[in-house]
A and B are shown apart, each in its own frame.
Chain A
Amino acid sequence: MKVSIKINGTVLERDVEPRLLLVHFIRDVAGLKGTHVGCETGHCGACTVLLNGKPVKSCQLFAVQANGSEVETVEGLERDGKLSLEQEAFIDNFAMQCGYCTPGMLMITHYLLRRYPRLTREEIREKIHGNYCMCTGYVQIVNAIEDAFKRRGT
C-alpha cells in the first residue's frame, strides 16, 4: 500500500505492507535509527515519537495508520547543528546511563515543553509513566525535564 509520511519535515512516499509497524518504517525505510525498539509490547516508550504533535509509541501503530501524517523523531530536535534545549538539559543533568531510553525521553519532554507552561515534579513523573529507564532511577531524568522547563521559561 502506498503511504506518504512526513518525517522531520521531509515527505517520504513508499509502498509498504499494511503490517509494517511505524517504528520499522522510521528505522528501516527512512533509515532514522534514533528511534529505538525496546520492549515491543507497548510498555517501555523507547520508540516514542510525535505523530501530528502528539506522543505515541511507534511500535503500537502501523505505518499505514500514519499515512498523510507528520512524524517528529529525535533526529529532528537539533537545529543547524545545535542541540535542542531538552538535549542540553539531559546532558547537563546526566539524565542517562546506557542511553537506550533517551530518544523516547527526549520526545516526551519535547511534547511536554510544547504542551504545558509548567509542570510540578509530581506531574512530570506522572507524564513520563510511559517511558521506562532501567539505569538512572529517574531522578536525573526528572531533574533534566524540570531544568528544561526552567531554561525555556514560561
Chain B
Amino acid sequence: MEDDEGSLMYPARFDYYRPSTLNEVLELMEEGCRPMAGGQSLLPMMKLRLLTPNCLVDLGEIEELRGIAVYKDTVKIGAMVTHNEIEESQEISSSIPVLAQTAANIGDLQVRMRGTIGGSVSHADPSANYLPTLLALDAKVKLVSKSGRRSLPLQEFVRGPLLTGLKQGELVEAVEVPIYGGNGLIRKFSRRKADFAIAIVTLLYKKEERRLNDVRVAVGALRTGPRRLTKLEESLNGRMGRIDVSDILIREVKSLEPVEDLHGGVEYRRNVILTLITRMMEELWR
C-alpha cells in the first residue's frame, strides 16, 4: 500500500504524543486520544486498519507506570512492565513463580520485550496468557483517570473478548497480585508455541502433609472472560491422595463457553480443556 507521497504507509494517519507525565496522558485521553503501551496488539490492528485512531498517546515515558513493588501480601506491577521483565524478575519469580512462568509463555522473545501487562489486560484478548493466571491469583486492576482512581477485581474488569470495564478516559495504572504461597501450573495448547492459546489453564494448589488445599483452577480462551472451576476446586480441597473427580470436571467443563474461530470449535476446545486439566491433575497427585 503506497500513500500519496509514494512511501510505504500501512496505518491510517494519526497524531502522536509522547508526554512525560501521567497527567498529560490523562488529559489527552479525556480528549479521545488512545493510549499505546508496547503496541504489540495495537500496531498489527492499525496496520490492518481494523483500528484507525486519529490520536495516539505513547505511554513509553511515564515513570509511574513502570516498576515492580513487593509488599507483605501483594505485588504491584506497573502497567508498562513488559512480559520479559516479569519473566526475568527475581521478585516475581520468588513471590509468584506462576506469574513469571505465565509471562515466559507469551508470544515470542521479541514480543515479550515490547508487550506489557497493562496493555495485555486492557486489550483483553480472550486467549491472552495472563487472564486465567491473574484470575486464579485474585488479581486487581488499578485504574486511573482525570476524575480519580479505582480498582476492579480481574473478573469484573474483563467482561468478554476485547471487552473491559474501562470507562472513557480511564487507563490501567497497575495490576495488583496477592502473593500465593503454593504451587502453580500452567498449560497452554496452541499449534505453534508462539500462537494464541486454543485452550489455556492455570492451576494453583497447596499441599500440607499430603493434603490439598486452596486449589484454584482457572480457564482462559472463553467468550465470557476467564472462569474458575469452583466445583472442581471444592471437591479437591482437603483431599489426601488420588480421587476420581472426572464426573465433576466433565460437567463443569461442559458449562464453559470457549471462543470459536478457525482454530477450533466449541466442542473441540472443551475437549482440549478437559485433557489439559486431566493431565495437570496427574501432577497434583505426585
Tell me the A residues contacting B by CB distance below 8 Å.
1, 17-21, 24, 28, 40-43, 45, 48, 54-57, 60-62, 64-65, 67, 108, 126-131
Question: Could you tell me if B13 and A57 are in contact, using CB atoms closer than 8 angstroms?
Answer: no
Can you report 13 A-B residue pairs in the complex whose CB atoms are below 8 A from each other? A19-B12, A28-B7, A41-B47, A45-B110, A56-B114, A60-B110, A60-B111, A64-B16, A65-B58, A67-B18, A108-B110, A129-B109, A130-B110
- A41 — which chain B residues lie within 8 A by C-beta? 44, 47
- A24 — which chain B residues lie within 8 A by C-beta? 7-8
Question: Could you tell me if A18 and B110 are in contact, using CB atoms closer than 8 angstroms?
Answer: no
A1-B16, A55-B109 known; A20-B39 Cβ under 8 A: no
Question: Could you tell me if B114 and A130 are in contact, using CB atoms closer than 8 angstroms?
Answer: no
Interface string of B145-187 (1 = CB under 8 A from A): 0000000000000000000000000000000000000000000
Bound CA–CA A130/B83 (angstroms):
15
Q: Does B40 sit within 8 A of A, measured CB to CB? A: yes
CB within 8 Å of A: which of B216-261? none
When A and B form their complex, what is the total count of cross-chain residue pairs whose Cβ atoms lie within 8 Å? Answer: 83
Assign chain B's interface to a size class. 20 to 34
- B10 — which chain A residues lie within 8 A by C-beta? 19, 21, 40
Question: Could you tell me if B113 and A42 are in contact, using CB atoms closer than 8 angstroms?
Answer: no
Q: Does B264 sit within 8 A of A, measured CB to CB? A: no
- A60 — which chain B residues lie within 8 A by C-beta? 39-40, 43-44, 110-111, 114
For A111, the closest partner residue in chain B by CB is B109
Question: Could you tell me if A18 and B56 are in contact, using CB atoms closer than 8 angstroms?
Answer: yes
For B58, the closest partner residue in chain A by CB is A65
Question: Could you tell me if B16 and A55 are in contact, using CB atoms closer than 8 angstroms?
Answer: no
Bound CA–CA A55/B110 (angstroms):
5
Question: Could you tell me if A65 and B7 are in contact, using CB atoms closer than 8 angstroms?
Answer: no
Question: Could you tell me if B110 and A28 are in contact, using CB atoms closer than 8 angstroms?
Answer: no
Q: Does B194 sit within 8 A of A, measured CB to CB? A: yes
